Structure 1
């Protein structure tokens, strides 16, 4: 065993023990009954219906964090995210800052709040995107965003729309690794690293360049891979269901800059928890370290 591989192996052992129940013990949460989901599901269905009826939006994937977790014995409150695409908006954002693709496509989370026990929806407002990625304020881009979200949230009672406060993050909270490989090879190696994990589920890919090309816009190669591990993810969200908007599922962005250099970027989950002012559980910290270790190894020559 080399000095480089020993920390990764020890981390994997700790990770396995934690989520097999040896270290975590009983969560103390009751199993969610079908009626526990009724209020958040109603909000989700409203948002999903709005997206389905829209001529400019396309659903990418829905992820029911709570039910997926419960299927593998990891209980958390209702938390269900809808990811949907508006290629014109996304292409313009990526032209301004390619890293912004980590927060694209747009998404809305329906969840049950631990604070008031009520169902809410929450999303990242334009102020957040502007602050994190330096987007233009008061631009046609902001107007387009607001129009999209008004369409998506139509019919949702205002008192059920929650917001993060503050919108900004103290740092961008993005980890970027330089890849020594071509763009296509980097995508392949990242996907192989994901597939090699025995507890992960794939939720799809978004090829932003192909989407932009379809509407006559040229951007650099940019692909987002969506995946997650239901058991550890639900454990990390057990006291922080709003992490289901940003931190879960995982989003691996492979992108090429103007100098043809290739990079892998992904969220620092601890920074997202700080921004949301939610519990930074041991489970969340272990997942964060696991992501760094797995993908650093994937890009080693």
Structure 2
């Protein structure tokens, strides 16, 4: 195995982790502030991808599509919060799970009705269509590096928002004592709508960015949602820092596990059987890591509000 190939897989894992962070950051904000289990978060990922693909196809501009993905996902999140989620805050988690699972079905069938059952395809913008040289002579896709850069910028922006702004102060206070900030005059309903729309916009951004690497299709958000829940459990529910660290950890473990384990088992068991066993173990690896972390730190790697 060459060093260039290993570096390429590391970057793939980092890019995958950044995409998971965009999903998990919104999800951990929503759960941390509102105490809401939102199974429909993956639907906003799908909404962002479809909005980007549709607008890019109509206008020929990926950047307009990207702006549309943010607007569409944020608007969908605000509407869902106003019409459905607002009635669930005082209900138990089972009611929240059932209601948001119903939203998954509504979004999936609504998207199928609007766009049909066939996947859409989103082209990488020409300015990011090239590749850069890696150590060892390999080349790496510039667009994937751009996704990593966007993730780092979003992480920095969220840090500044949460730690340096009045809205961030209200979000942190809402995580600790929502009744108190309501008593102090903060419009808690408006705050919840803003947080929910922000979380949905981040999910929509992730869907739009990944849409250029894979097909845009109905149901694309559900597999990513499962991994996003793994990320926030590992990182610590309510922690943006934990979401970032957990996402990078999951991205690297999953990508390198799928790359290295089949090769390692093939050395001891033969190519065919080793590849089968290695692939099966690689698919379980992130859940094994999650179980080990929770065995020693049941609250996750970081506390809420960090």
Normalised to the residue count of structure 2, the TM-score between the two structures is 0.25
Larger-Rg structure: 2
Normalised to the residue count of structure 1, the TM-score between the two structures is 0.25
Which structure is higher in RCO with an 8 Å CA cutoff and minimum separation 6? 2
Q: Larger % of strand: which?
A: 1
